Amino acid sequence: MSSIVLTNSKKYLLNNTKNNYLINLSINSLRNYTNSEKTLKERFAEIFPEKQQEIKDFKKNYGHVVIDSVKLEQAYGGMRGIKGLVWEGSVLDPEEGIKFRGRTIPEIQKQLPKAVGGQEPLPEAIFWLLLTGEIPNEAQVKAFSADLASRSELPEHVVKLLDNLPKNLHPMAQFSMAVTALESESKFAKAYAQGVSKKDYWNYTFEDSLDLLGKLPMIASKIYRNVFKDGKIASIDPNADYGKNLANLLGFQNNDFVDLMRLYLTIHSDHEGGNVSAHTTHLVGSALSSPYLSLSAGLNGLAGPLHGRANQEVLEWLFKLREEVKGDYSKETIEKYLWDTLNSGRVVPGYGHAVLRKTDPRYTAQREFALKHFPDYELFKLVSTIYEVAPKVLTKHGKTKNPWPNVDSHSGVLLQYYGLTEASFYTVLFGVARAFGVLPQLITDRAVGLSIERPKSFSTEKYRDLVKSIITKN
Ligand code: CMX
């Protein structure tokens, strides 16, 4: 199907001739070409005016419908389960797990394009899917990979900043500082300062998001190589995909590790909008802070031990276990270790979830990767035995609503196998992956004009008055 008919979005773009990107896009949009030849930006520019209209109509017709009611315990319980956020890329079902634009993890593993010789989906394709709802073809992904690679260079002040940070500063703190320092490059911030129209926000947010995504492998690798190796990093290969470049920059060439990076980035990308990193990125972005400042805020949230840092905690907990049990991996010994953890008032890292009520499909995908590539690896066997024991212990303990393992329970073991053994770096990889989920939403937020976030808070005294008046009325 090919067409040179001007759609509304293209007319809109042509009307905004003061903007360079839009000029490029408008010229491109006159090309006689098919959907399957379009770039991500061209496709998104076509899609979002319809989405904008759809949301406008939806709000107009059904804006008055009550979609939730809130109990007092939810106000004190981390607002768990309250509906009040909009997130287009993914929805998390407590039983089925994450669905990316309606697709489960096994489905995206089958449907998304793969690298030549690779078996896992390309993370570039999940970005495309999350932003547009469409699966790109191989040529489109290849061009997108090249686009990201072309944006990878770090400004000198960011390299200097990273080189001068103390090695004992946690890699996540270094990561968020480097992303914040990239604010100097923000096209959105510059355009805003020059008085850009609201209608064009999405375009600068898009450019910043891709620039940022392109630079993340360099930042992550610089931190890894500075803290744990000799500080030197390889160059970006303009013809390689994102996962391959990331692996190579970190210093790993093994093809299975490269495939693991692709899988890792894909499945860690998005987990709907209410988790701390996603919500924080969206919240900060809602004040029109640039994608750099927004993502960096999200990364600071991801760095918490109850969220992304749980992958580091899991490894440290496993190593202590290994030290204590001295080779005795019997179920009885592991059960005792689990009870010791719980009885000392700590959480079992990698288990439980605020939404999920079954084994996290991201855990299952990683378990399957291990079963395929290294079923006899000692640490994998240990993790598998814990999987048999921990849910029963947690259920008996009776506190958590979800005794099953989450994503962080498994990721570290895979990295250990391939020699990426420095656990304090693990959350940085999660952070690179999370950018693939939160940046598409940030672009959408600006394209459809979502409002600044401002929910209502009360003091306990005010809540007392509120509860009293509600009880008296009933
Ligand atoms: N071990 C021990 N206790 C746990 C537990 C675990 N793995 N998971 C939950 N609980 C406890 C909670 O601390 C809470 O105790 P209190 O009543 O004393 O406060 C109680 O069970 C009820 O909690 P919940 O409703 O089941 O879980 P929450 O929604 O409050 O918290 C989570 C969710 C993930 C923070 C929690 O399960 C946890 O702390 N897990 C361990 C850390 C972890 O693996 N985090 C990573 C999650 C995935 C990610 O974001 O990356």
Which protein residue's CA is at the shortest distance from atom 50 of ligand 1?
A: 307
Q: Which domains does the chain have, with CATH numbers?
A: 40-57+77-305+422-473 (1.10.580.10), 310-418 (1.10.230.10)
**What does pLDDT average to over the chain?**
93
d(CA 186, CA 206): 11
Does the structure show a pLDDT above 70 at 224? yes
User: For this structure, is 157 an active site residue?
Assistant: no
Contact present, 352 and 406 (Cβ < 8 Å): yes
Task: Give 240 Cα–ligand 1 centroid separation in angstroms.
Answer: 39
Minimal-distance CA residue to ligand 1 atom 48: 307
Instruction: Please choose, from the candidates 189, 194, 181, the residue with its C-alpha nearest in 3D space to the C-alpha of residue 205.
Output: 189
pLDDT for position 34: 74
Half-sphere exposure of residue 456, counting CA atoms within 13 Å on the CB side?
Answer: 4
| The predicted structure's pLDDT at residue 13 | 39
Kindly indicate the confidence band of residue 12, based on its pLDDT and cuts at 50, 70 and 90.
Answer: very low
**Which residues lie closer than 8 Å to 395 by C-beta, 6 or more apart?**
403
Question: Which residue has the least CA distance to atom 44 on ligand 1?
Answer: 350
Burial class (CB in 10 A: 0-12, 13-18, 19+), 183: middle
Is the shortest distance between the CB of 28 and ligand 1 below 6 Å? Answer: no
CA gap 332, 338 in Å, rounded: 10
pLDDT one-digit tens code per residue, 163-219: 999 999 999 999 999 999 999 999 999 999 999 999 999 999 999 999 999 999 999
Phi, psi of 34, deg, nearest 5: -100, 165
In the annotation, is 271 catalytic?
no
Identify which of 182, 237, 236 has the alpha carbon closest to the alpha carbon of residue 211. Answer: 182
Distance of CA 299 from the midpoint of ligand 1 (Å):
20
- Torsion over CA of 379, 364, 268 and 381, rounded to 10 degrees? 0
pLDDT over 70 at 7, yes or no:
no
Of 259, 360, 408, 445, which residue is the catalytic one? 408
State which H helix or E strand residue 99 sits in: strand 97-100
Tokens 């000198």 identify what position? 156
Q: Which amino acid, one-letter code, is at 141? A: V
Q: Which of 271, 282, 353, 410 is catalytic?
A: 353
- Cα gap 175→216, rounded to integer Å: 9
- Among 269, 314, 353, 397, name the best residue to mutate to test ligand 1's pocket (greatest count of ligand atoms within 8 A of Cβ): 353
| Global confidence as pTM | 0.93
What would the pLDDT profile of 13-41 be if each residue is shown by its tens digit?
A: 333 333 444 434 443 444 556 778 899 99
Render pLDDT for 344-370 as a digit per residue (tens, 0 to 9): 999 999 999 999 999 999 999 999 999
- Yes or no: say if 284 and 403 are a contact pair by the CB < 8 Å rule: no
Reported for 372-378, long-range contacts at CB under 8 A and 24+ positions apart, including other chains, are 373/256, 373/417, 374/417, 377/413, 377/417
Q: How far apart are CA 237 and CA 244, in angstroms?
A: 9
* Whether residue 397 lies in the annotated active site: no
User: Which of 389, 366, 235, 386 lies closest to 320 in space, CA to CA?
Assistant: 386
Residue with token string 């004040």: 287
Whether 399 lines ligand 1, by a CB cut-off of 6 Å, is yes
Q: Does ligand 1 have an atom closer than 6 angstroms to the CB of 312?
A: no
Mean pLDDT value across residues 77-95:
98
- Ligand 1 within 6 A of 400 CB? yes
Could you tell me if the CB of 352 is within 6 A of ligand 1?
yes
| ∠ CA 304-99-248, rounded to 5° | 60
Q: How does residue 11 score in pLDDT terms, banded at 50, 70 and 90?
A: very low
**Tell me, what's the pLDDT at 19?**
41
Minimum CA distance residue for ligand 1 atom 3: 347
> DSSP secondary-structure letter at 367?
H
Mean pLDDT of 376-399: 97
Ligand 1 and 411: CB distance under 6 A = no
Atom of ligand 1 nearest to the CA of 276: 50
Structure token digits, residue 13:
């773009």
